[in-house]
Amino acid sequence: MWAAACAFLIWIAACAAAIPSSSHATAGPRVMMDLVRERFPLLVAIVLASLPLGLAAGCVRRPASTGGAPRCSVARAVCGGGFAGIAGGWAFGKWMEQAGFFPLVAGLVRSDSAIVGVALHFAIAVVIGATFGLLFQREIRGLGSSLAWGAAYGILWWFLGALTLLPLISGHVPDWSYVHAAALFGSLVGHIVYGLIVGLLYAAVDGAWIWLFERSDPLNREIEGSGVSALSALVRGAVASVIGGLLFSIVMLMTGTLPRVARIVGGTSPAVGFAVHLIIAALIGATYGVLFHHEAIDDRAAVAWGTLYGLIWWFLGPLTLFPVLLGGTFTWTTTAASDQLPSLIGHMIYGIGLALVFRALERRHLQELFVDARLRRRWQRRRRPAGTSAPAVWLFFIGMSVVLPIVLG
């Protein structure tokens, strides 16, 4: 992930170096966007070149443990990742069936049968899920972080699979132009959704495996019961969502999308849309509390996790679930993404407001619990320490989630 994040920064620097020339400085944003799009193949090349470098560096210098995380278990990684890959492949397969991609996948084995394409698709999904477990098991400390690593891993596989390996295996030269990438924007969203499901399910299976077969700590008691802790985080997340939801509603009011939100419950009034929006914001905030209440070690980390979670819901909400709730189907197209760019900004603002208020509430909650120094030390061991690759995931996923819809749209 550090290598991929550095590759993204190198591409940004290359684009920035090309834009401020005297002939283009006054040409306007359209010409500058054309220059960035011309360098999209460079982004693909740098990201792909970074992957073997990152893997080699990780193999040469592999830490014994990551912030107190358990030792890597191949059985856990393969079984948990393979199971999660099946579920993620099923969700991604819904779009592939709608787009008629299964015969194309079957072409990898010189067939045009959709059934063969389905079988091959699930086999690939299982392999990618298993490799996710092998690569990121040490970094995953909870459901939220696994969700983030899964989404970033999905983007990496869009570059590696859809843009590169699929045409190569089919006997064609890969087309890395932004025009071809824009045609595969639906595949990008599908890879992200696949990664989200893989990350979430893998963390759940991995945590259950450790709890059932490996964890044994009868001497140290928890600060509070797991159910109480999850319920408390859920309530704090729902409360914290109020600020983020109000900030997001300003964007929705300016873009006139509140009446469209009201259509979910059969209404047309902006007031009804505002009420529905706050309810949805509270539900998303509650899930943030459950998923990320062990992740943010300071306000800066909270901003990063909140921004990332807001962007995740931009892919899941306006592009996927919202059209379905309105009686249609998900719209993973560049046109839909371009129409929803104001909503992308709103989701980022919502995530930042949610995360900062949640951290303030969590800090107050913990002060009430830390009556014993041993409890404080035990809680801190469960938190994500500094020095992990979380900043790389923040940079890569947030950067790609903002840049790709703009460049390809």
Which pLDDT tens digit goes with each residue over 273-290?
A: 999 999 999 999 999 998
**Two structure tokens written together for 185:** 């924007």
pLDDT at 67: 45
**Two structure tokens written together for 145:** 């972080």
Confidence of residue 152 (pLDDT cuts 50, 70, 90): very high
Average pLDDT over residues 45-74: 76
Taking a C-beta distance cutoff of 8 angstroms, is the pair 44, 159 a contact?
yes
**Two structure tokens written together for 303:** 């901003």
pLDDT at 216: 47
Confidence of residue 379 (pLDDT cuts 50, 70, 90): low
pLDDT at 187: 93
Cα 157 from Cα 109, distance rounded (Å): 20
The region of weakest confidence among 114-123, 129-138, 149-158, 375-384 is 375-384
Cα 189 from Cα 195, distance rounded (Å): 10
The region of weakest confidence among 245-249, 291-295, 315-319, 393-397 is 291-295
Cα 147 from Cα 140, distance rounded (Å): 9
Average pLDDT over residues 332-358: 94
Angstrom distances, CA of residue 240 to CA of 283, 300, 306: 11, 17, 11
Q: Mean pLDDT across the chain, nearest whole number?
A: 86
pTM for the model stands at: 0.89
Q: Of all residues in the chain, what percent carry a pLDDT higher than 70?
A: 85
Instruction: Sort residue 212 into left (φ over 0), alpha (ψ -120 to 50) or beta.
Output: alpha
Rounded (5°) CA angle 367-371-372 = 125
pLDDT at 387: 61
At which residue do the structure tokens 């899930």 appear? Answer: 287
User: What would the pLDDT profile of 67-90 be if each residue is shown by its tens digit?
Assistant: 444 567 888 889 999 999 999 999
- Would the pLDDT of 378 be above 90? no
- Nearest Cα neighbor of 210 from 278, 137, 128 is 137
> Which alpha helices (DSSP H) does 293-340 contain, by range?
299-316, 322-325, 334-339
Domain range annotation of the chain: 1-18+29-58, 73-214, 226-408
